[in-house]
Structure 1
Amino acid sequence: MLFNSLVFFVFLIVVFTVYWLFRNQLKLQNVIVLVSSYVFYGWWDWRFLSLIVISSLADYFIGIWLSRTEEKTKRKLLLALSILVNIGILGFFKYFNFFVDSATDLLSQFGFQANPTSLRIILPVGISFYTFQTLSYSIDIYRRQIEPTKDIIAFFAFVSFFPQLVAGPIERARNLVPQFLKKRTFDQENASDGIRQMLWGFFKKIVIADNAAVYANEIFANYGDHTGGTLLLGAVLFGFQIYGDFSGYSDIAIGTARLFGFNLMQNFAFPYFSRDIAEFWRRWHISLSTWFRDYVYIPIGGSRVSRLKQIRNVFVIFLVSGFWHGANYTFIAWGAAHALLFVPLLVFNKNRRYTQHIENRELLRNPQIILKIFLTFLLVTVAWIFFRAQTISEAFEYIIKMIQTLFESPVKKFNISAQPVFFAIILMIILEWINRKEKHGLQIKNWPVVARWSVYVFIALFIFMYGKFEQTEFIYFAF
């Protein structure tokens, strides 16, 4: 079920109404959340609900068993079992054919002809998200950072919570599970702001992302027909497409959760205002970045080791992050590109330079900040080419041609200057800059009433006038 569909709106209204009718019955509310989440996910393909159930059952019982034993060997075996179940499911459905094809290509380089077995495997939506969410639960119990819950309904609801099930944020049990175990009351102010955040998410998705996709797709599909200026424009539009698409999903998910009395973590903190790559990664897909930090980067030594090993750890984290996004070498190359951009900051101890929001007075004192933001955005944009391209060679061809013909006149007429997507992007930048210390771009509760409602109405009208209502899937559904 897609957020940007009429079915979802009907579903949301029904679930919201039934859920709050039983506001004094916590267990029944959790059952409603669980059943609704399974309906939400099963609407796409009910058969893959079995994977969520397997993952949930495994980690529910592993969590309980971990709490009942102090023997190190048994605890390690139980954790290994959790990793095997979750990574095994993820690896089979997402990476089986990738590894088979890669092994076949490698053997062919040495003159061996293999007859590989390739399966027509459908990638289950959201599998990379919920497997990481439930796996972190077992790891945290193993580390004795949390206690397991014995409420199986609450745990299953935590794993499958429909607002963030298929594309995050990847929630931690320490944040979300306790919210299923305590009574929830309807907070009108919180719910109202949740609706505003949903409105902002829909604006970014169906106005910015889906309109930008039309032109970005055309440029990338026919990059040989265009010159540098248009190719750069295509990369920029894809940058706003993926940001509008993914952060838009996160806004809708977080806003929807707030309607039911849940608070999810912020997943994007206006990353295109970053002053260097390190800051960008503190602001982009925060739930995944912090997941890899806590469960991969720190366990292999993090920044507590020698400089050389720190550099190794940075490459490990970025390459693994790239590979998490998809079974294609382009994603690994994208991760490697970000590692190469990050390492100089690490070497010169500049990677923690920007941890606070930009203050207006700081901007007035140091106009170079604008240049740093622009340069960071440009570097991120070039790296997006690897993310968007079908092959690494195609990405390099795109970049080389873009640089070589940057100042040439367009070979193919491509006039999109009058399209509303540019106005929408500018509007988004303005509102997010004004509200860069808030949780989303429409958190303007301190504005005068007339000004606030003028913005809300304008955004809503813009969505109805220029939004793409073809129910386009979110990009991260593929991951």
Structure 2
Amino acid sequence: MGILFLFKYYNFFNDSIFGLLTDWGIRMTLPNFDLLLPVGISFYTFQAVGYTIDVYRGDIKSEKHFGIYALFVSFFPQLVAGPIERAVNLLPQFKETKKIDYAQAAQGIKLMIWGYFMKIVVADRLAIYVNSVYGIPEYHSSITLFIATIFFAFQIYCDFAGYSNIAIGCAKIMGFDLMTNFRRPYFAQSCAEFWSRWHISLSTWFKDYVYIPLGGNRVGTTKNYRNILITFVISGLWHGANWTFVIWGGLNGLYQVLFKILKISPKRKTENTEFNFIYIGNLILTFVLISFSWIFFRANTFTDALVIIERMFTVAGNLFIGDKSSFAYSVFAIIVLMLKEGYDEFFPNGNLFFKSTKKSVRFISYSLVIILILLLGVFDGGQFIYFQF
């Protein structure tokens, strides 16, 4: 944790603390360090910390073979952006003899294909529009900022979930099973359910190693709310040494508390009409709240975030589209994404397209996805967003 603090947080705390002391008339300075941040440092640090805590608690036995432990910390498919694996799941797999299994390899390739679609066709295509708007928010109207915020909600999801699918699929080809990291989060009906579907490996990490040790929900109501807020603020800080991430984390913690106070909880999708309306209402409310919090995550500075929020509700004007074909491709990509995810959500046992019992139908479905990647993909896009964490 000291290594993580030095590389990622030292300058942030140095500037914040000594800036505060200066405001109080106390002049103290320590030099900042211009250090190159190792790629994915937060991910493999947390994986190593989880192992250490599990050994300390006696949940697992310490690994005596240094090579196997080093492989656990630096396993290349999920090294730079997760999933943050648990020792109890991954370490035993390194001691097994692995043989290529056709069915498992085929499943891995399918995951990778869909992961590439999410990253190259959806995320990197949406990034073109989002970057142009969020780069100069003071020049854009409310409708443009609303669309850019919605686009970013899908961009960050497809960027990160796309990487997770590629990592899980790559490991699966070699015979290793990594934990599921995303489970259609934008179909969640509450913020609590959203976080049980989004970046699951990190959410469960904070639950097991921060939230529960603080007392979890086994304490009084007020302390339970405190534990939620502390956990989410720390989660926000994990994402980056910037006040925008801290506010983003605190805002999501506040959502959790408010949902508990208002007793907003998921409803089943298949009951009567009244419950269906409640389901749709909860789904929309959750998406709106989560998308609003993404403003702080994406904005370059806290000031930019405030400008975006202010202009969203005060500045009328025409919708900025930019390149029309790119904008149309972006909308089309989101539609394809939601059709597949909606089918997986509402028909988990369905047998159409990717889930068809006929090999020829599955082959055609994935071939069409590959064609979409080649035709609509942005191959000169940037790195994965979560590489910076």
TM-score range, shorter chain: over 0.9
Which one has the largest radius of gyration?
Answer: 1
User: Are the structure 2 counterparts of residues 152 and 119 from structure 1 closer, same or farther at C-alpha, using a change threshold of 3 Å?
Assistant: same
Inter-partner Cα distance in structure 2 for 1:413 and 1:170: 38
Within a 5 Å distance, the mapping from 1:223-262 to structure 2 comes to 223-262=137-176
* Alpha-carbon shift at residue 367 of structure 1 (Å): 3.5
| Cross-structure match for 1:48 | none
| Cross-structure match for 2:182 | 268
8 Å CA contact retained: 1:435, 1:444: no
| Cross-structure match for 1:290 | 204
| Cross-structure match for 1:468 | 378
Within a 5 Å distance, the mapping from 1:88-237 to structure 2 comes to 88-237=2-151
Identity %: 44
Within a 5 Å distance, the mapping from 1:302-313 to structure 2 comes to 302-313=216-227
SS of the residue 2:176 aligns to: coil
8 Å CA contact retained: 1:104, 1:114: yes
- 1:172-223, Cα deviation, whole Å (9 max, x unpaired): 0000001111222322111101100000000000111111011001111121
Inter-partner Cα distance in structure 2 for 1:220 and 1:363: 40
User: Are the structure 2 counterparts of residues 362 and 134 from structure 1 closer, same or farther at C-alpha, using a change threshold of 3 Å?
Assistant: farther
User: Are the structure 2 counterparts of residues 411 and 170 from structure 1 closer, same or farther at C-alpha, using a change threshold of 3 Å?
Assistant: closer
* Alpha-carbon shift at residue 471 of structure 1 (Å): 5.3
Is 1:330–2:211 an aligned residue pair? Answer: no
- The total of aligned residue pairs comes to 385
Of 337, 348, 360, the match for 1:428 = 337
Inter-partner Cα distance in structure 2 for 1:266 and 1:238: 22
8 Å CA contact retained: 2:216, 2:227: yes
Is 1:366–2:280 an aligned residue pair? Answer: no
Q: Which amino acid aligns with 1:373?
A: L
Inter-partner Cα distance in structure 2 for 1:279 and 1:202: 26
SS of the residue 1:265 aligns to: coil
Is 1:316–2:225 an aligned residue pair? Answer: no
Of 229, 233, 255, the match for 1:341 = 255
Inter-partner Cα distance in structure 1 for 2:260 and 2:320: 43
Q: Which amino acid aligns with 2:129?
A: Y
Inter-partner Cα distance in structure 1 for 2:275 and 2:309: 35
User: Are the structure 2 counterparts of residues 186 and 411 from structure 1 closer, same or farther at C-alpha, using a change threshold of 3 Å?
Assistant: closer
Inter-partner Cα distance in structure 2 for 1:328 and 1:171: 26
Inter-partner Cα distance in structure 1 for 2:320 and 2:252: 32
Moved more, 363-372 or 242-251: 363-372
| Cross-structure match for 2:318 | 410
8 Å CA contact retained: 2:137, 2:304: no
SS of the residue 1:435 aligns to: helix
SS of the residue 1:419 aligns to: helix
| Cross-structure match for 2:363 | 453
8 Å CA contact retained: 1:270, 1:432: yes
8 Å CA contact retained: 2:182, 2:200: yes
What are structure 1's unaligned runs of at least 5 residues? 1-86
| Cross-structure match for 2:311 | 401
* Alpha-carbon shift at residue 248 of structure 1 (Å): 0.4
Higher relative contact order (CA 8 A, sep 6+): 2
What TM-score comes out, normalization by structure 2 length? 0.93
Within a 5 Å distance, the mapping from 1:28-43 to structure 2 comes to none
Within a 5 Å distance, the mapping from 1:39-50 to structure 2 comes to none
* Alpha-carbon shift at residue 304 of structure 1 (Å): 0.5
- 1:124-179, Cα deviation, whole Å (9 max, x unpaired): 11110111111111111111111122222221111110000000000000000011
Q: Which amino acid aligns with 1:376?
A: T
SS of the residue 1:477 aligns to: helix
8 Å CA contact retained: 2:143, 2:319: no
What TM-score comes out, normalization by structure 1 length? 0.76
Inter-partner Cα distance in structure 2 for 1:362 and 1:221: 45
8 Å CA contact retained: 2:354, 2:365: no
Inter-partner Cα distance in structure 1 for 2:244 and 2:353: 36
Inter-partner Cα distance in structure 1 for 2:275 and 2:188: 18
8 Å CA contact retained: 2:123, 2:155: yes
User: Are the structure 2 counterparts of residues 211 and 150 from structure 1 closer, same or farther at C-alpha, using a change threshold of 3 Å?
Assistant: same
* Alpha-carbon shift at residue 401 of structure 1 (Å): 1.0
Within a 5 Å distance, the mapping from 1:44-63 to structure 2 comes to none
Q: Which amino acid aligns with 2:159?
A: D
Moved more, 141-150 or 408-417: 408-417
8 Å CA contact retained: 2:329, 2:376: yes
* Alpha-carbon shift at residue 368 of structure 1 (Å): 3.4
8 Å CA contact retained: 2:229, 2:250: yes
Q: Which amino acid aligns with 2:313?
A: I
* Alpha-carbon shift at residue 281 of structure 1 (Å): 0.5
8 Å CA contact retained: 1:307, 1:347: no
* Alpha-carbon shift at residue 349 of structure 1 (Å): 5.1
What are structure 2's unaligned runs of at least 5 residues? none
SS of the residue 2:236 aligns to: helix
User: Are the structure 2 counterparts of residues 349 and 402 from structure 1 closer, same or farther at C-alpha, using a change threshold of 3 Å?
Assistant: closer
Of 382, 385, 389, the match for 2:292 = 382
User: Are the structure 2 counterparts of residues 90 and 448 from structure 1 closer, same or farther at C-alpha, using a change threshold of 3 Å?
Assistant: same
8 Å CA contact retained: 1:219, 1:226: yes
